[in-house]
A = this chain, B = another copy of it.
């Protein structure tokens, strides 16, 4: 952010993002045209598509931030932790700092509302899931490196990550459709869901 030029670009991007999020969360994603967004910022439509590859990208930009934060948290975990435990801890502890990370870009409240829009808009949910798959691949490589394994040769890294992500997705969904929709609620939900994974996989559901 040395140049005036750079600062201006930054400001344009942020303005577009804010306007998009505001419109998406109020009017809905589908019922908001790109023209609506650019009109609010007073730039040409072409400019929008120079900052965002497509409409989806603008909608998912904030989530991307949170995701990157989580991946970093996993990388920062002490190497002696077992893979599953490292993932679990990264989520639980990463939640504390997440608030600040998001707030530095947009109001957390806007982030939360956008999350609900994503979960309830088919095309956005689809894009979100695909992106999650890419993250899974990245996480698998992190885990593999921690354990000194080859991702291509050993199935386990991708498997733990897949299982973990599966649980997280169920949690997310429950969270986004539930009553208590805040960051704290998400953390406690995460913990209780992860606790139930073991029991759910064992054969005897009747004994407890």
A126 — which chain B residues lie within 8 A by C-beta?
Answer: 126-127, 129-130
The answer to whether A160 touches B129, judged by C-beta atoms less than 8 angstroms apart, is no
B83 and A156 contacting across the interface, CB-CB below 8 Å: no
Interface membership of A93, Cβ < 8 A: no
Q: Say whether, besides A167-B159, A197-B159, A85 and B129 are in contact (CB < 8 Å).
A: no
How far is B193's CA from A160's CA once the two chains are assembled, in angstroms?
11
Residue in B closest to A82 when the chains form the complex, CB atoms: B203
CA distance A171 to B28 in the complex (A): 36
What is the distance, in angstroms, from A83's C-beta to the closest C-beta of chain B?
7
Q: Which residues of chain B are near A169, meaning CB under 8 Å?
A: 133, 162
Interface membership of A182, Cβ < 8 A: no
Interface digits, A23-41 against B, CB 8 Å rule (1 contact, 0 not)? 0000000000000000000
Interface assignment of A201: CB less than 8 Å from any CB of chain B: yes
Please state if B166 and A163 are interface contacts (CB–CB under 8 Å). Answer: yes
Choose from B82, B149, B163, B196 the contact partner of A155 (Cβ within 8 Å). B196
The reply to whether B156 and A199 form a contact with Cβ atoms under 8 Å apart is: yes
Asked if A79 is at the interface (CB within 8 A of a chain B CB), the reply is no
- Interface flag for A2 (CB, 8 Å): no
Q: Which B residue's beta carbon lies closest to that of A165?
A: B166
Chain B residues with CB under 8 Å of A159's CB are 167, 170, 193, 196-197, 200
CA distance A85 to B163 in the complex (A): 16
Task: Tell whether, in the assembled complex, residue A162 and residue B158 are in contact, meaning their CB atoms are under 8 Å apart.
Answer: no
Kindly identify, within residues 170 to 208 of chain A, every residue whose CB is under 8 Å from any CB belonging to chain B. Answer: 170, 192-193, 196-197, 199-205
Assembled-state Cα–Cα distance A165/B199 (Å): 17
Q: Is A72 an interface residue (CB 8 A)?
A: no
21 contacts between A and B (CB under 8 A): A82-B202, A83-B200, A83-B205, A85-B203, A129-B130, A129-B133, A147-B205, A149-B205, A158-B170, A159-B167, A159-B193, A159-B197, A160-B200, A162-B167, A162-B170, A163-B166, A163-B197, A163-B200, A163-B201, A165-B166, A166-B166
